Amino acid sequence: MSDNNVFKARELGQSIWLDSISRDMLRSGELQRLVENGVSGVTSNPTIFEKAIADSDTYDEALVGYARDGAAVETVFERLAIDDIRDAADVLRPAYDEASGKDGFVSIEVSPRLAYNTEGTIEEARRLWAAIDRPNVMIKVPGTPEGVPAIKQLISEGINVNVTLLFSINAYRAAANAYIEGVRAYMSSGKGSPDRIASVASFFVSRVDTSVDNALGEGHELSGKAGIANARVAYGEFQQLFDVTLGSGNFHPLATTGAQVQRPLWASTSVKNPEYPDTMYVDELMGPQTVNTVPGATLDALIDHGTIENRLGPGLADAKAVMDGIAAAGVSIDQVTDDLLSAGVKAFSDSYDSLLSRISEKLGKLTPAGGDD
């Protein structure tokens, strides 16, 4: 299978990660098979864990064990998630070693309740990093204004960060600069080479189309174009910040020390509008030094009929024209992306609350204290 589209994407410079995790996937060997077929990373979030726990009885025995000491439900979930993330990291470790620490990561998110709490985010990220104790883990930190200083601090301590919930170019730029400043602080502290510090900036795509399409109205000529154009403009920013061949910019001196670039990661790349091609956000955002994290159905579509060619760099001029056209149509992309960030934080918080509720409900049924045994 070394000639499948996942491997071809890697040859072009893009890593394909899976936006899903479950204990069933780990126990059955499904994740191992996906890694053997080229998948080189895993991302998770509260919504993914909610589905995994609520929709099966796989976790029931473990939940009872995690709760035996009377731990709070938040702690029960954290213990469960840490076990799954650690096991996934072990499956991905060969990919990490083969890539010399530049790929093969699994991501876990700090509590979405901390999205606007800098110190709380730093403390929880440190705890998760220490508890999982694997070099190929990334801690997901939201790209809120409060998340930015947390990104810099964690990177300065050598903790890998996946910056999540990025929608706007300004937020992307802030996240990228926080990474660069964090690497610089790490170097200044005399801790050694930064070559094993890794980060991705997760730029969300399809949700932008959903919002902009609604604002433009049905049948507009720019419908379905905003998400890809917005991401391509972000990629242009990435090139300006991290392209060391330019010999300038904040990152250039760090690159000489072995520091990694912070790769853009395309998230929310399943197609929400059934009228759009199912590989649209994969095909159109294929390009070097990037990651695309996809759910299972999108991965299957990519393998079956995806198109593997660089469409990021060549599409930058057209992308800027699209964004100008959207503004001319009276749609404020800044307002759209601000609203999406708020909605994204709320959605993950709601999923987290729902997840904790489902765990409490299950524990009530599974333990004698619940009165059902």
The residues that bridge with 142 in the sheet, in sequence order, are 164
| Residue 102 DSSP one-character state | S
Question: Considering only CA atoms, which of 308, 310, 309, 303 is closest in space to residue 1?
Answer: 303
CA distance 220 to 316: 21
Cα distances (Å, whole numbers) of residue 338 to 78, 143, 169, 345, 359: 29, 11, 11, 11, 32
Question: Considering only CA atoms, which of 134, 88, 102 is closest in space to residue 14?
Answer: 102
The residues that bridge with 16 in the sheet, in sequence order, are 292
Give me the residue label for tokens 């790769």. Answer: 263
| Residue 143 DSSP one-character state | -
Is the Cβ–Cβ distance between 48 and 270 less than 8 Å? no
CA distance 146 to 138: 19
Residue 355 parent element (H or E)? helix 333-366
Question: Considering only CA atoms, which of 108, 74, 117, 66 is closest in space to residue 89?
Answer: 108
Q: What are the catalytic residues?
A: 140
Give me the residue label for tokens 């509720």. Answer: 357
CA distance 123 to 151: 12
Amino acid identity, position 271: V
CA distance 295 to 51: 13
Q: Collapsing DSSP states into helix, strand and coil, what is residue 348?
A: helix
Token output for 130: 């220490």
Beta-strand pair 105-109/14-18: unpaired
